Structure 1
């Protein structure tokens, strides 16, 4: 992940099949992500969305 992605660790994923989860957008705070997710659910009631904390794990080697 790059620096810009690190600044926005909360992501909204559109849940499809097992291998088809798509990141819709990213936010700095969980409350902003949840508010936007409620808007998305209103616009697309048949689609499943999920808020995820998607912070990369640093591996030291």
Structure 2
């Protein structure tokens, strides 16, 4: 996970078949994610989107370092 991703824990996620998901965008604030969610729902009525909080835990970072 890049530094910019760690600064943006709120994720707009597109739900797909078979319990798959795709992160569409990341945001620093929940209200920004909610505003973008409303736009995406208007633009693609058949798409299913949700917002999740995806924080970075320090243990995960230290595990990657070594």
Task: Say whether the fold is shared (TM-score over 0.5).
Answer: yes
Give the unaligned 5+ runs of structure 2.
none
Structure that is richer in helix per residue:
2
Deviation at 1:58, TM superposition (A): 2.4
Task: Specify the alignment match of 2:21 in structure 1.
Answer: 21
Write the deviation string for residues 22-49 of structure 1: whole angstroms up to 9, x where unpaired: 0000011000000000000000011110
Cα distance in 1, alignment partners of residues 23 and 41 from structure 2: 15
Q: Which has the larger radius of gyration?
A: 2
What TM-score results when the alignment is normalised by the length of structure 2? 0.82
Cα distance in 2, alignment partners of residues 7 and 58 from structure 1: 13
**Aligned CA-pair RMSD:** 1.3
Structure 1's consecutive aligned runs of 4 or more residues displaced over 4 angstroms after TM superposition are none
Query: How many residue pairs align between the two structures?
Result: 60
